Every structure is written in structure tokens, then in C-alpha cells.
Amino acid sequence: MPNSIGGELGLLPGTELLAINGRALEDFLDWEFHSADERFLLQARLPGGAEMEYDIERPEGFPMGVMLEPPRIRRCANHCDFCFVDGNPVGLRAPLYIRDDDYRLSFRYGNFATLTNLKPWDVERIVEYRLSPLYVSVHATDPTVRRWLLRNPEAPEIVPQLCWFTGQGIAFHAQVVLVPGVNDGAELERTLADLYAIGPGILSVSVVPVALTEFSKRQLVREPTQDECGAALRTVDRMATRALAERGTPWCFGADDLFLQAGEPLPAAEWYGDFEQRENGVGSVRFLQTRIAAARGGGRLPDLTGRTIGVVTGPAMGRLMPQVLDGLGSATGGRFEIVIVENTLFGPSVTTAGLLPAAAIEAAVRARPDLDLVLLPAEAVNDDLRFIDDVGAHDLAGKLSSPVRFSHDFVDALVGEREGA
């Protein structure tokens, strides 16, 4: 990139970054960690094959200006019956066929990893680079139950693993994907108690009901009933009550979907603290309400009087969305209508907005030519703006008569609308 150290050195696209201070560079973590020093020796191989050594002095804040190739994803060693990837039909975005289980992506993006594929070298790096917090799929602390859920007889015991890492100063957000008859009931009690006993290095735990697709191994795993979701919430609540009294935080959270499936109301926004697991569907509704209230208070929302805005979402959020949109309507004067889109690719049991294919959205929005603006869930596209069925966002927008905007939290899209962006 111009105006950077890389640009001044004349590093060209295709340059291999070999080592810093004699230490071989394996991936972006090595690069970011070691190139953060004020002064270092970089060995690189230029596209023509010449090996170069650069003595680099990096004034604070001055960019290296080097863009790395995407990392090779660490593959998963498990075979969970509820795995979303295993049964995927053909024609999806290519990465959706990769079962990733990568602690590096866990640190960078908050992806959940199981820590079942760590090599000694990975363990050293997690500690050396202080990759914390990490997001870990625990599911069950009983080794037999966990191995059964992961379909991995080699999976190391998770409690000693977490104890060791937390002893080294690495913290974790944990999740339990609730599979009825396997890790609910007494197993869930034990799992939460074991994780709590590890200490404050386990920052939070979420309990998320298992979600299955049309292609899942339904003969082996099923979704929880309403009563089972309610029972799990009571277990979560007992643990949260104890944690609140002893540590001043509920620590243990039911996913919004667990409340929804149990038919029970969501806790207040304050319950979720910093909403640390909102990307995992924990407190997402309350987070949205908080964002809207803040934007309203700051006068950042546009006047939408007389306009009808369609909000595309999946059935899961569709049922929770009225709680969010009430505030938006009164704040903007606009009429917000929920457009619930059923997942035509994975089947109606997949209710999350993030997995909606463009084809289903197109059909639903075409049926609503009256909409002045359509808000689409930003989580339904990847960084390249492609939907799960590999359709580009611009291609979809070109087929619709109403203008569309992607939105994470409504506020982002509506503020853009106000500013004409």
C-alpha cells in the first residue's frame, strides 16, 4: 500500500514474508505479533525469487501497509450429528462446506472452537500471544457426553484444558448447544457447575437450543420441546442467580431462541451487561432496542413519516421483532412491516436470518411492491456481499423494485437514509 513501510521498501504483491528476527512466519498471527515491534529484521522472498532482508524501524502508528492472503482454515476433527456443514446441499458459498474449528478465528472473529484439534505449538501460541478471550463450544463437561456429542472419541477433557488455559491468563466465553436427552437436565446442571467452578476465567456461558436443517441427521438428534426449553431456562436461571449474588454478573445466559421456544419473556437489557454473546443470539433483541433508544435520544434517526419500510428476517427474529420495531415506528414516524422469509434452502426449521438464501428473499420482497425501502439482515451476506446461495447482493438488489439496505441494527441503515448515503 502507498504511504506505508511496505510501500517504501518496495514490497510487491506476491511477496512471501518468511521470518521476523529469524522466527519463521506461519500465519497472520505471527506476522501481527512480531511486526508490532518498533524495530525488527524481516526476511522476505520477492515474486522474482530474490530473498531480501530488511532492517525495519517502525515509528509508532505508522502502518506496515501489507495485506496478507486469507489464512488456511484449520479443519474440524469432530463429526457432530447436528453439524450444519455436513449435510449442506450443492450450490452454496464455497466456505460453507468447510467445517472450521480454528482458535485463531475464534480470537479474531468470535467463532466458536472446540479446542479438540490443538497441537502443542498452538497451545504455546495461544499463551504467548495472549489470544484472549476465546470462544469455546463446551456442550458438556462430562468427557463421555462431550465425546458423544462431538462424535470424537479422541477429544481431550475440556475441564482440565480450560483450567490450564485460565491459569495462564486466557479467558473464555463458552457455549452449550442443548441437545435434548443428551446434555440437558442433570448434565446441564453439571456442565454449568463445572464451568463456574473453574473461576472468573470463564467469562460467560450461553445455552443455545440445537438448530437442525432439512439435511440434519434427525434420526440421531432432535430439537428440544417447549417444556425442555423451559426446564433448561430454569437451570440457567438457578446458576445465574447464584452467579449474580457471588460475582455480580448473571454469567450464564439463555439464548433468545431458548426463551422464544420456551414461550417465556426475555430478560431486561441490563441483564446482558455488555452483550458479549449477542453474535451468538444471546440478548440480540435487547441489544437492538438499546441501539435504537440511543439513536433516538441522539436525534440520529430520520423522519420517515408516510413511508413503509419492510424488515426482512427469518421466522426466529420475526416473532421477536415486533418488540424492536415498535420503538422504531414511534421514533421515526415510519410504518415498519416485518417480512418473514421462510428458508427455502434448508427448510422451515432453519429460522435464523443469517442463513436466508437470496432466492427466498427475492420472492418475498417481490410480493411487496408497496414497500418504500427494504432492510435486509446484514448477517445474511459474507464479506464479499454474497448470500448463502452464492448470489451477490447487487444482483439481488437489481431484481427488486424497492431500494434495499443491509442493516446490522436498523440504526446503521436508517442513519444512512437520513444522510442520503
Which residues form the interface with ligand SF4 (CB under 6 A)?
76, 78-80, 83, 85, 99, 101, 114
Q: Where are the alpha helices (DSSP H) in 64-219?
A: 103-109, 120-128, 143-150, 158-167, 185-198
> Residue 386 CB, nearest distance to ligand SF4 (Å)?
20
> Residue 214 CB, nearest distance to ligand SF4 (Å)?
17
For ligand SF4, the closer CB: 64 or 76? 76
> Residue 215 CB, nearest distance to ligand SF4 (Å)?
13
> Residue 143 CB, nearest distance to ligand SF4 (Å)?
16
For ligand SF4, the closer CB: 99 or 238? 99
| 157 close to 115: Cβ distance less than 8 angstroms | no
For ligand SF4, the closer CB: 158 or 328? 158
Q: In terms of Cα–Cα distance, which of 359, 358, 321, 357 is closest to 339? A: 321
Q: In terms of Cα–Cα distance, which of 296, 306, 326, 320 is closest to 414? A: 296
Burial of residue 160 (CB within 10 Å: 0-12, 13-18, 19+) is exposed
For ligand SF4, the closer CB: 102 or 409? 102
Burial of residue 379 (CB within 10 Å: 0-12, 13-18, 19+) is middle
CA 228 to chain centre: 25
For ligand SF4, the closer CB: 67 or 94? 94
Contacts of 217 (CB under 8 A, 6+ apart): 81, 82, 86, 87
For ligand SF4, the closer CB: 101 or 417? 101
Type of residue found at 107: F
Peptide bond into 322 cis (omega under 30): no
Grid cell, residue 31, equals 506476522
For ligand SF4, the closer CB: 110 or 329? 110
Start-to-end C-alpha separation, the chain? 27
257 — phi, psi (to 5°)?
A: -65, -30
> Residue 79 CB, nearest distance to ligand SF4 (Å)?
5
> Residue 99 CB, nearest distance to ligand SF4 (Å)?
4
> Residue 16 CB, nearest distance to ligand SF4 (Å)?
30
For ligand SF4, the closer CB: 184 or 417? 184
> Residue 364 CB, nearest distance to ligand SF4 (Å)?
29
